Each structure stands twice: as structure tokens, then as C-alpha cells.
């Protein structure tokens, strides 16, 4: 035995310390590795196994250490080594990391390590898998902060529903995809919160529309709307699936009851409308059949007319006409044909019968019509005025013959013949039109001259009359014989009047000239008060003098000399006036030259690009334009040059103003385009702010010219009004939603109040949770509704008060049971087993039950019970009897010392100790009576 121990190697020694020392030697010997592995597998001492593992550890070896092949302690040690290595270096392959992760993934106590590992080693595959495994928001939030994998973060965002947590993610996230996913998730959550209200509103709208069908008596409209609204209702019902089960079922049940009620109210009305609709469809079918018959008759009439033309134009029989007539008569005999249509049938049948009787005669007339067309077609159109008269006569003769032919044929004139005739007539009318116009103008000229001649003769203007006659005479010589014939009578009459005028000229001129001289003398003696009228009168007399004829002999010279002298005398006052006017025009000239100089200065100022606002420039130029108009007239010979200078200076200024106005207009158009970008926006706060800035910019741009400025302003104002209208509509919609939501909240509050009246126990706690949830919802969605928040808070206080009252009553009831049972024990009313089976005993808490059981098993301890009684009176601040005053002081000092030493004082514990003192005998009844008021 001693020899055997001597022959064994150190690593086989019974002493673990020896084996531990042998490990260091084995590590140095490469061929002894198998011994180390054997020790690792078989050595009973954990210290030896740990040292071996540390000596030859490798990722493969550490991963192979697991239960049940190795002990739990060694497996845990190997796991700790792997964790330390993974956090300190990166010698493990991806496959080894994945293997170890899969081993520890199911254990929640490994969450901290996995998060540390992923923070150091950003392994996207592990991060993605672990994000899918975790099921708490806290763990997911910690993982989100440790990893960079976009896919894993997207999984976390999909699993987290806490808006505060998602908002925190969004603030710290830099990846666009993840940020967009978070934003989308927050939007979905927000929409999910408002979804019940939206569904309810949509359902109520559909129900109200359904109910409104009762007042609609248009059968087709009612049935069509009912079908459409029923489909909308089914869509609303399907939307309940997007809500949580309990909420969706409750809302679905509530709204479905309303839908059934509406259906019941509509039942009779829908039945009536269906009957009415069926009757209307029957009438429509009858109308359709009537319309089809009418269309058939019209088609037969059209076909009959075609056959009539075919019979007329071709040498064919009339059987096809008779067939068509028979078919029309048959349809007419069937009845149900409109009166006007029946009249058309009768007229067409009568016409067809006449055609059959006069067919040969009609064909002869058509031949004559064709010959007439050929005749006109072969005639030459007039090309010049000399050919016009003969062509006019020829066309008039042809037109008369064609009119008679049309009368004979009537409706039987073939369309092709009528079209050809109309085309030829149009050609001839177009060819004759300019010549007719020329002839008409010529005739009008002669008529005007003959009238003028008559007027001049009547007014005594013989010389002018003779001049007109000479024009007439010269024009008459250039006319053709036919044209001369047309004015022959008027020309002969004019010639006779002129001949008569020549013979009477000398007898008429002298008295008229004498009368005109007398009128001129009167003007000299009594001049007109207004100089321009005086000058105009003198000019008028001179014109009349010139149109009078010549007097005989020396009288003409005497008359002229005297008339000229009197004209000078009558015009003398006017000369002084016109001299003054000339001086005034000279002053006006200086004023206008000064205005031109001011315009030049203004142009130079603009050219130098000196700062001048559009309003200032326009005002300055307008004032100069007004001054120019007010400056008055200038001499005629200077007017044109002066006006040109003025225009040369004004035009650049107007162009400058127009350029500035155009620039302003373009700037305003840009503002309109910017404003139009907000027509489809949903961010009305931003849109309103931006539009107000655009309005400020609009005011600063300046005038853009007359109608254009007004037009642009209307466009800009329209865009603003549309955006603000959409904003107001959105506000109103939001207000309606808030009002509906508030109404729902008020309904919920009232319902909770009603439930509170009947609630007890756990129901009160449930109501309290519901109030907290409702309060949180209101604070989240409408924290500014102070009255509602106050109402809910008061309801919460009422529930808390009710709960506290019920607890106090329950507690008081328990204490009553305790005191009743302790009295029963004292009276020995029942045994220990009966006590444990008593109904009142079973309602007590564990502490009270244990105290009573102790009391049943022990004798009465008067002194301890008296001490506990006084302690409870001290705690409850109730006075003790006078005989216990000294004892109370001692106990009070002891209790104060215990409190200073950190001892807890619980009155319920004191009661349990009091009860455990045993049954209450007669001597202790007064202690029981002192304790009861403390708890009851």
C-alpha cells in the first residue's frame, strides 16, 4: 500500500494542494496536455478544475464546458471567463460568439452582460435577434442606446409603444431611416388615440345621413343613398378591428344598437320607396319603348324620303315607296304615336301619293332645272365694270326662271341639283358684289351732289351751286349710256335750274350784297361783347360775300371796296385782343420751356440712379404733366417742336416708371407663387406666419400700375383667403372633435358617478383606476380644460373618500368581530376548533387570527394586558383612569426611550399582543371596555 502511493504521479495525489502544484509542471510539458484535460474532466476538486481551465483555456475549451458534462459551478466559471474575454478582447470567431449568445439568450439575468457586450462589439446579427427576444420597454430602451444596427433599432421601434420613450429615441437618433420610423410610429400611436373618436364621429355621420333619408321622397335617390351609406357603415364596422378588443367590442355594440334602431325607423319608408321606384322603372320602360318606336318611325320617314329621291332620279318603279307607306300606316294604326309625329306621317304619306301621280311631270321639271344650271355655268362672269350691266341683266333673268322652276318642283328638287344651283348663285353673287357696290356708290354720289345743288340754290349760294353743277356735268360724261339713263331726269332738272340761275344772277346778287353790307355796319355800330365771337362773325360775313355772284359793271368794285373797309373796322377790336393773346402765348411758352427744363433735371436725377421711390417719381411727373396742361396754348409754329421736346423728356420717365412697376409686378407674382405653395399645407401655424410675412413684403414692394396692381392684389388676396379659409375649417373641425371628445369625457364622468353610487370593494378600486386613466387622457389631450380636470379630480377625491370610508367600515367591522370573539372565548362559548371554523373568525386578517388563537391557548395576563391598554391609550392620545396615572407616566417614559432607540410603534401590533394575553375574565372587562373605543 505504501509502495503504491509512492509510485503515483503528483497530479494523482489525494491531496488537492499537491494536485494544484502539479498543474504548473504539467503546463510546461507539451506531451502532458491530455493529463490536464483528464484532470479537468475527472478531478473532484473544483479548485483543481478551475486552475486547469485557466492554464489551458481557449475559446473552444471554454465553450465546451457546460452542463451536464461538467458541474454547474465549473460551467458557471467558464461562462464568466468567456464573458470577461468577450468584453476585453476579440479573439472569438463570429460563429463562436453566436454559439455563446444562443446559450445565454434565454436567461433574463444575462441582459446586463449582453447589453455591455453589444455596446463594445457592434454585432448586427446578435443585436437584431436580441431586439426580437426582449419583451420589456426598459430592456428595449437600454438595447436601443447601446447598438448602432439600423435594422435592430427598427425592430425596437416597432415593439415599443410608449410615446415618451419613442420621443426620447427620436431626440438622440441620427439615422434618417430610424428617425422616420419613429416619427411614423408616433403618428400612428397618436392616430390610434383619436381613432375611437373619429370612428364614432364617422358612424354618427353615417347614421344621421341614414336617418335623413326619412325626409327624402325621391325613390331612386333614397335607394341609391341607402346602398351607399350601408357600404359606408360596413366600412365603419370593419374599422372597429383597428381598436383594442374590449374597446372595439364595446364601441361596436353601442353603435350597432343605434344602427338597428335607425334601420327600424327606415323600414317602412324604404318599403314605400322601393314600391315607388319599381313603378317609376315601369314608367321609364314604357317611355323607352315609346321613344324607340318614335325613333323607328323617324328612321322610316328618312328612308321614305331617300326612296322618293331615288324614284325621282332613277327610272325605277314605285313599289318601294308603297312598301314604306304601308309600314308607316301600320305603325300609325298601332296607336301610342305623338300627335306631331302622326301629322308628319300623314303629310309624308300624302306627299308620296302625289309623287306617284305626278312622277313623269316632276322628272321633266328636273330636266329643265338641270338645263338652267348648265346655262348659268356656261355664262361668263363679269371681270370689269363695263361688263357688269349686261351680266346683271343676264343673272336677273336667270334668277327669275330658276325661281319659277323651284316653285314647280317644290320639295322634289334633288339635293344635288339644289346644291349645284346654290354654288353657282354664290359664285355670281360674289362676282357681282364689287361691281354692284361701285354702281351703288356712284349713284349715291350723284344723289348727294343733286341734293347739294338744291341746297345751295335755296340758300342763294349761286357760285357754289354752279361749281357743283360743273362737277356733275363732268362726271355724267364719263358714264355709260345705261348709267346716264338712270340719272337722266335729275340731270335735266339740274341743267334747267342752272340756266335759270344764270339769267337771274345779276338781279339777285346786288340786293344780297347790299343786305350783307348793312349787317356788317350793324356789327360795327353794336359790336359783340365777346371778342372771339366778333372775329368769328366777321369771318362768316366774308365767306358769305365770296359765295355771292358778281354785280354788273362798276357796282362790283364799289361793293368790294366798301365791304373790305367795313370788315377792317369790324375786326379792329379783335386785333388788340389777339395781340394780348400773343403775349399770353409767349408767357405760356416760357412756362412750358421751364417745365421741359424740370423734366430734363428729373431725367438726369433718375439717370444718376439717385434714390427716388416710385411714388415720389410718379407724383413729381404727374405734377409736371398737370402743370403742362395748365400752362395754356402757344403759337402754332412753335407748338409741334415744343411738344416733341416735351415728349422726349416724358417718355424716358414713363418708361422708367413702367419698368419699376413691371419689376414690382414681377416681385408680386413671385409672392403669389410663394403663397400658392401653402394651399395644400396642413401646418397652418407655419402657413399663417409665412403669409403674414409675405403680406408685409407685398406692402413694401410698391405700386405696379393701374389695373395690373389691382389684378395682382385680387390674386394674392384670393390665395390668402383660401389658405385662411382652410385654416378656419381645420380649426372648426378640431373644435368639433374637441367638443365631441369633451362630451364623451363628460358622459364617462357621469357614468362613473352613477357606478360609484353602487360600487363597493374591488369595484371602487376599478373605478379609481378608470378615473386615473381618464384624468391622464384629458391632461394629455386637453390640459387647458380646467373645469373638466377639476370635475374629474373631484370625482377622484369622491372615489378615494368612498374607498377610505368603506375601508374604515370594514376595519371597524373586523374589530367588532375581534372583540366579539374575545368575549366569546372569555365566556367559553365555543372551543378552539369551533373558533377556527367560525364565520367571523375567517373574515379576520392573519395577525388577528393568530392573536385570538394564542388567547385561546393561554391564561389571562392581567398586568401585561393593563400595560398594553395604557400604551394604546397613549398612542391614541386618550386619557387613562386616575388610578393608572403613575403607571402611565412610567410606561410613557419607557415608550419614549424605545422610540429614541429606533423602535417602531404600531397600535395594531399592540392590539394583537393585547389579545394574545388570553381570555378576558371579569377583572379585565374594564380593560376591554377601555380598548374598544380606541378601535370602534
Rounded average pLDDT per 10-residue block, the chain, 936 residues: 50 72 71 71 75 75 77 79 76 79 76 76 76 77 76 79 76 73 76 71 76 78 83 78 63 75 81 83 78 74 69 63 70 70 72 65 74 79 73 80 78 76 82 78 81 78 77 78 76 76 60 77 79 79 70 67 80 74 78 82 71 67 80 76 82 79 84 85 81 85 78 87 85 82 82 77 77 79 78 81 77 78 70 73 78 74 83 86 87 78 73 81 81 80
pLDDT of residue 5: 43
C-alpha cell recorded at residue 699: 406692402
Query: Cα dist. 756→225, 762, 787 in Å?
Result: 44, 12, 21
C-alpha cell recorded at residue 834: 369551533
Residue 181 dihedral angles phi and psi, to the nearest 5°: -65, -40
Query: Cα dist. 572→245, 515, 542 in Å?
Result: 117, 22, 15
Cα–Cα nearest to 333, from 297, 289, 288 = 297
What is residue 923's DSSP assignment? G
Cα–Cα nearest to 262, from 231, 226, 228 = 226
pLDDT of residue 683: 80
649 touches 606 (CB < 8 A): no
C-alpha cell recorded at residue 831: 372551543
Cis status of the peptide bond prior to 311, with omega within 30 of 0: no
SS3 of residue 785 by DSSP: coil
Residue with cell 343676264: 394
244 touches 300 (CB < 8 A): no
pLDDT of residue 502: 63
841 touches 825 (CB < 8 A): no
pLDDT of residue 285: 80
pLDDT of residue 692: 86
C-alpha cell recorded at residue 448: 348727294
| Distance, CA of 254 to CA of 260 (rounded, Å) | 10
SS3 of residue 419 by DSSP: helix
CB-based contacts of 865, cutoff 8 Å, min separation 6 = 914, 917, 924, 927
For 835-853, give the secondary structure using H, E and C.
Answer: HHHCHHHHCCCHHHHHHHH
pLDDT of residue 310: 66
| Distance, CA of 427 to CA of 433 (rounded, Å) | 10
Query: Cα dist. 232→199, 236, 698 in Å?
Result: 11, 6, 47
CB-based contacts of 859, cutoff 8 Å, min separation 6 = 918
Q: How many residues does the chain have?
A: 936
Residue 357 dihedral angles phi and psi, to the nearest 5°: -70, -35
Query: Cα dist. 258→195, 206, 262, 318 in Å?
Result: 19, 11, 6, 76
| Distance, CA of 365 to CA of 353 (rounded, Å) | 18
Q: Which residue pairs from 562-565 have beta carbons closer than 8 angstroms and sit at least 24 positions apart in sequence? A: 562/517, 563/513, 563/516, 563/517, 563/520
Enclosing H/E stretch for 106: none
pLDDT of residue 131: 75
C-alpha cell recorded at residue 590: 416760357
| Distance, CA of 205 to CA of 209 (rounded, Å) | 6
pLDDT of residue 503: 58
Enclosing H/E stretch for 418: helix 415-458
DSSP line for 227-276: HHHHHHHHHHHHHGGGS-HHHHHHHHHHHHHHHHHHHHHHHHHHHHHHHH
pLDDT of residue 16: 67
pLDDT of residue 537: 79
Cα–Cα nearest to 926, from 875, 884, 876, 886 = 884
445-446-450-453 Cα dihedral, nearest 10 degrees: 60
264 touches 213 (CB < 8 A): no
C-alpha cell recorded at residue 211: 336617418
639-641-643-646 Cα dihedral, nearest 10 degrees: -140
C-alpha cell recorded at residue 682: 396642413
| Percentages of the chain per state (helix, strand, coil), in multiples of 5 | 85, 0, 15
**Residue 759 region, left (φ>0) first, then alpha (ψ -120 to 50), else beta?**
beta
pLDDT of residue 508: 61
701 touches 667 (CB < 8 A): yes
174 touches 198 (CB < 8 A): no
Going 32 to 37 to 38 to 40, the CA torsion angle's sign is positive
C-alpha cell recorded at residue 387: 361688263
Within a 13 Å sphere around the CA of 134, how many CA atoms are in the beta-carbon half?
29
Within a 13 Å sphere around the CA of 265, how many CA atoms are in the beta-carbon half?
15
Q: Which residue pairs from 629-632 have beta carbons closer than 8 angstroms and sit at least 24 positions apart in sequence? A: 631/588, 631/591, 631/592, 631/595, 632/584, 632/585, 632/588, 632/591
Q: What is the tally of helices (H) and strands (E) in the chain?
A: 38, 0
Pinpoint the alpha helices (H) of 782-838.
Answer: 786-827, 832-837
Amino acid at each position: 500500500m505504501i509502495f503504491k502511493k509512492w509510485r503515483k504521479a503528483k497530479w494523482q495525489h489525494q491531496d488537492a494542494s499537491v494536485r494544484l502544484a502539479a498543474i504548473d509542471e504539467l503546463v510546461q510539458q507539451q506531451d502532458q496536455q491530455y493529463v490536464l484535460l483528464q484532470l479537468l474532466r475527472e478531478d473532484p476538486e473544483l479548485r483543481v478544475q478551475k486552475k486547469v481551465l485557466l492554464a489551458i483555456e481557449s475559446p473552444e475549451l471554454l465553450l465546451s464546458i457546460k452542463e451536464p458534462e461538467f458541474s454547474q459551478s465549473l460551467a458557471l466559471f467558464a461562462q464568466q471567463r468567456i464573458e470577461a474575454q468577450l468584453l476585453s478582447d476579440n479573439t472569438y470567431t463570429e460563429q463562436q460568439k453566436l454559439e455563446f449568445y444562443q446559450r445565454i439568450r434565454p436567461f433574463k439575468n444575462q441582459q446586463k452582460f449582453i447589453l455591455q457586450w453589444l455596446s463594445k462589439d457592434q454585432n448586427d446579427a446578435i443585436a437584431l435577434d436580441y431586439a426580437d427576444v426582449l419583451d420589456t420597454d426598459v430592456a428595449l430602451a437600454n438595447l436601443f442606446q447601446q447598438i448602432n444596427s439600423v435594422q435592430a433599432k427598427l425592430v425596437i421601434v416597432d415593439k415599443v409603444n410608449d410615446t415618451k420613450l419613442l420621443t426620447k429615441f427620436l431626440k438622440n437618433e441620427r439615422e434618417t431611416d430610424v428617425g422616420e420610423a419613429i416619427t411614423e410610429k408616433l403618428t400612428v400611436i397618436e392616430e390610434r388615440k383619436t381613432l375611437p373618436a373619429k370612428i364614432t364621429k364617422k358612424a354618427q355621420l353615417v347614421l344621421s345621413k341614414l336617418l335623413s333619408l326619412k325626409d327624402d321622397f325621391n325613390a331612386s335617390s333614397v335607394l341609391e343613398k341607402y346602398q351607399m351609406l350601408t357600404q359606408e357603415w360596413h366600412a365603419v364596422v370593419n374599422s372597429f378591428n383597428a381598436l383594442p378588443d374590449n374597446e372595439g367590442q364595446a364601441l361596436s355594440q353601442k353603435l350597432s344598437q343605434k344602427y338597428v334602431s335607425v334601420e327600424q325607423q327606415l323600414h317602412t319608408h324604404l318599403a314605400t320607396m322601393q314600391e315607388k321606384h319599381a313603378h317609376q322603372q315601369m314608367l321609364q320602360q314604357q317611355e323607352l319603348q315609346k321613344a324607340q318606336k318614335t325613333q323607328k318611325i323617324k328612321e322610316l320617314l328618312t328612308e321614305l324620303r331617300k326612296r322618293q329621291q331615288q324614284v325621282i332620279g332613277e327610272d325605277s318603279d314605285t313599289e318601294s315607296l308603297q312598301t314604306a307607306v304601308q309600314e308607316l300606316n301600320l305603325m300609325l294604326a298601332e296607336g301610342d304615336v305623338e300627335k306631331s309625329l302622326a301629322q308628319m306621317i300623314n303629310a309624308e304619306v300624302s306627299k308620296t301619293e302625289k309623287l306617284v301621280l305626278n312622277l313623269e311631270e316632276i322628272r321633266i321639271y328636273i330636266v329643265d332645272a338641270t338645263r338652267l344650271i348648265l346655262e348659268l355655268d356656261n355664262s361668263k362672269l363679269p371681270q370689269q365694270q363695263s361688263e357688269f350691266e349686261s351680266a346683271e341683266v343676264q343673272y336677273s333673268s336667270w334668277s327669275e326662271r330658276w325661281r319659277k322652276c323651284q316653285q314647280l318642283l317644290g320639295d322634289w328638287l334633288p339635293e344635288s341639283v339644289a346644291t349645284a344651283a346654290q354654288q353657282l348663285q354664290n359664285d355670281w353673287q360674289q362676282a357681282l358684289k364689287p361691281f354692284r357696290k361701285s354702281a351703288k356708290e356712284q349713284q349715291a354720289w350723284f344723289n348727294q351732289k343733286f341734293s347739294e345743288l338744291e341746297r345751295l340754290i335755296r340758300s342763294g349760294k349761286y357760285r357754289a351751286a354752279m361749281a357743283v353743277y360743273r362737277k356733275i356735268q363732268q362726271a355724267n360724261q364719263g358714264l355709260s349710256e345705261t348709267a346716264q339713263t338712270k340719272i337722266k331726269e335729275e340731270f335735266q332738272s339740274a341743267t334747267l335750274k342752272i340756266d335759270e340761275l344764270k339769267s337771274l344772277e345779276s338781279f339777285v346778287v346786288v340786293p344780297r350784297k347790299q343786305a350783307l353790307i348793312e349787317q356788317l355796319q350793324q356789327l360795327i355800330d353794336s359790336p359783340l361783347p365777346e371778342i372771339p365771337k366778333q372775329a368769328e362773325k366777321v369771318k362768316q360775313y366774308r365767306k358769305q360775300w365770296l359765295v355771292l355772284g358778281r354785280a354788273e359793271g362798276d357796282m362790283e368794285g364799289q361793293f368790294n371796296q366798301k365791304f373790305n373797309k367795313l370788315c377792317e373796322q369790324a375786326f379792329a377790336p379783335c386785333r388788340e385782343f389777339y395781340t394780348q393773346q400773343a403775349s399770353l402765348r409767349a408767357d405760356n411758352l416760357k412756362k412750358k420751356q421751364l417745365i421741359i427744363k424740370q423734366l430734363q433735371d428729373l431725367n438726369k436725377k433718375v439717370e444718376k440712379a439717385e434714390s427716388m421711390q416710385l411714388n415720389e417719381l410718379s407724383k413729381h411727373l404727374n405734377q409736371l404733366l398737370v402743370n403742362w396742361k395748365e400752362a395754356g396754348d402757344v403759337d402754332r409754329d412753335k407748338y409741334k417742336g415744343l411738344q416733341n421736346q416735351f415728349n422726349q423728356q416724358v417718355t424716358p420717365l414713363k418708361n422708367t416708371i413702367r419698368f419699376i412697376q413691371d419689376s414690382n409686378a414681377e416681385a408680386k407674382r413671385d409672392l403669389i407663387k410663394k403663397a400658392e405653395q401653402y394651399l395644400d399645407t396642413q401646418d397652418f401655424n407655419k402657413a399663417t406666419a409665412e403669409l403674414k410675412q409675405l403680406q408685409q413684403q407685398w406692402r413694401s414692394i410698391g405700386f405696379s400700375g393701374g389695373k395690373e396692381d389691382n389684378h395682382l392684389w385680387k390674386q394674392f388676396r384670393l390665395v390668402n383667403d383660401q389658405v385662411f379659409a382652410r385654416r378656419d375649417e381645420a380649426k372648426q373641425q378640431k373644435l368639433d372633435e374637441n367638443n365631441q371628445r369633451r362630451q364623451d369625457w363628460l358622459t364617462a364622468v357621469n357614468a362613473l358617478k352613477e357606478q360609484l353610487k353602487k360600487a363597493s370593494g374591488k369595484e371602487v378600486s376599478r373605478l379609481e383606476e378608470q378615473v386615473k386613466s381618464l384624468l391622464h387622457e384629458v391632461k394629455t389631450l386637453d390640459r387647458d380644460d380646467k373645469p373638466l380636470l377639476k370635475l374629474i379630480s373631484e370625482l377622484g377625491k369622491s372615489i378615494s373618500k368612498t374607498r377610505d370610508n368603506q375601508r374604515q367600515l370594514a376595519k371597524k367591522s373586523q374589530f367588532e368581530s375581534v372583540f366579539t370573539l374575545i368575549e366569546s372565548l372569555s365566556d367559553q362559548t365555543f372551543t378552539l376548533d369551533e373558533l377556527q371554523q367560525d364565520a367571523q373568525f375567517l373574515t379576520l386578517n392573519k395577525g388577528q387570527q393568530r392573536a385570538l388563537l394564542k388567547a385561546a391557548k393561554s391564561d389571562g395576563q392581567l398586568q401585561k394586558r393593563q400595560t398594553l391598554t395604557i400604551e394604546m391609550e397613549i398612542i391614541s392620545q386618550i386619557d387613562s383612569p386616575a388610578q393608572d396615572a403613575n403607571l402611565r407616566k412610567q410606561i410613557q417614559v419607557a415608550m419614549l426611550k424605545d422610540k429614541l432607540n429606533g423602535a417602531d410603534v404600531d397600535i395594531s401590533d399592540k392590539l394583537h399582543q393585547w389579545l394574545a394575553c388570553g381570555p378576558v375574565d371579569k377583572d379585565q372587562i374594564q380593560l376591554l371596555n377601555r380598548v374598544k373605543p380606541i378601535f370602534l
